[in-house]
Structure 1
Amino acid sequence: MSLDYCPGRYCGRLLVNTTAGVPIWGECGACPSGFRVNMEYHCSQCTGKPTLFQWLYLGFMATLPLVLHWFYLLHKHTEWKKNVAIQCGFAFIETTLAAVFTLLSFEPKGSLSLVTCSVQQISDWYTIFFNPRIKFVETVRCSQEAVYPLYSIIFLFYLFSLALMLFLRPTLAARFLTSEADKKKCNVAIYAALYFHPILVVIHAICAGLIYYAYPYLTILATMTGLAVYAVYWDMKVSRNVDFSLIFAITMCFCLQKPKDVFGEHRVQNIFIILWHLTTLAYSIIALGNAYTTSFTYTSFAYLAFVPLPLLFLLLTEQCTDPNHITVETGGMPL
């Protein structure tokens, strides 16, 4: 049924009642949560399912606190020790539980699935800027969550993540960390999270739409930059004995090495971080391959063959960029 025109891109009419089989519609305004205006200018309930690209977007946003937790822990601890692994495990448990509780809180409630409204254009994320002004005098308030629940669900996730961290982290630390120094470092990590959680909330509130369309590219850029920076930093400033060629061989062909060789000094941390970078790179490639389709496609899996290429390039060119070679050639002392 076509109704009278509603001004603005996101203004619609909500069905109020039905009298003698005739629907009665309300005034033009914002659609309630879980509804979106259609081409007939009335608010229709959203019944769609998230696409793979949208699930990957939610996963990207959910892993941001986890990555920041891990980055802070690995940055503050120059050696991979048991207490570091335990605290990284704490962060993973908190993030996983927060994601589960968040999904259970949205429709259909009690289920890990979601009901979503379709995302058609970037303005769907910023409906507050599209409230129409009638004759430049009266403003019709039509701001709403047109991308339900992709916008609000992240705020609830961050709330759960922060609450679980404040509740579980001290409890688990008291149970599994025996050293007072380790417990103190764990408390410092909690203080750091109290800073970056609000920052993530503000970034999402302002840039949610931009991140939605750009997160695969951001992931690729961050992954390749992070891999290169970590390799140079670790190789130069922590231990010149770390052989990245050996690490790559161990990662790709684990069965060729003895376990005691694999889990030697510093190698566990190197393998963990390299595998994490390769995983995120594969994640972003799959997201790009499914960015412009509403159904799952296997085509993007063919591009996963390119995932090891940045690491291979880094390994093959490592000798050419060794600062010691440059220093010796210029007559200086080697590093």
Structure 2
Amino acid sequence: MDKVIQELKELEVGKVLEKEPLANHTTIKIGGPADILVIPKNIQAIRDTMKVIKKHNVKWTAIGRGSNLLVLDEGIRGVVIKLGTGIDHIKIDGETVRAGGGCSVVRLATGISKKGLSGLEFAAGIPGSVGGAVYMNAGAHGSDISRILVKALILFQDGTLEWLSNEEMLFSYRTSILQNKRPGICLEAVFQLEQKERDIIIEQMQKNKDYRKETQPVSNPCAGSIFRNPLPDHAGKLIEQAGLKGYQIGGAKVSEMHGNFIINAGGATAKDVLDLITFIQKTIKEKYGVDMHTEVEMIGEKR
């Protein structure tokens, strides 16, 4: 890995960190070290990083702002590319917006609302990145990314870049083609929005933010919703009915505010979270005959 690190630094791709604890880069504050963490300064730097990765046949993984993500305790082997500063641009052209994959969804939603552009009100308070939101078709309040995405620039596992249209993304509930059929990460996204009354947009966004604060443990380290809603049921409601709010294994605890959130109550490990997830799944299956599937993305090596 020394040659990989040396070449990445020589190419000046951005920050290159060795054995970096990924707990520092996830919203739940859990995660073992990355062999190498690269925070690229722009899209060209990602291309250069991928060339080095392919040259040395090194494993690679990409992350965004670390929400909806559980990095396991042994961390991640190879190179982890973190999309952030440098890939967080926003360009507005009429009702069309182009945003970098590392851009904060909250920053984007707030920025376009001030321009009187509607379509991202549902995202008010969502802590993730644009790339992550596209990857998982993030949504809330009856809407999601698939409603507004025109196309996305995707970096695939073989290092190639390709623009995929909305149709080619194969969106469904909290799912896109990037999660299974064609694994990849979103470097840029183009959205089609709609001009509306600025004050109405901002008012709706504030309502959505307030609702999130009132119903979700946003002040605690967590990874967002743990389970997909087993429609027509809701994960949080089933967990609450089962009496599991407040249930704790190690440092991982089911939020007493919302049943579909697991918080890091202090010193939690990924194993604690996994054990708690398994316990919840078993309990809900026994009580209600419902299979609970995780929404949170899990990556890395188990201890």
TM range (shorter): under 0.3
**Structure with more relative contact order (C-alpha pairs < 8 Å, separation 6 or more):** 2
TM-score w.r.t. length of structure 1:
0.22
TM-score w.r.t. length of structure 2:
0.24
Query: Which structure carries more strand by proportion?
Result: 2
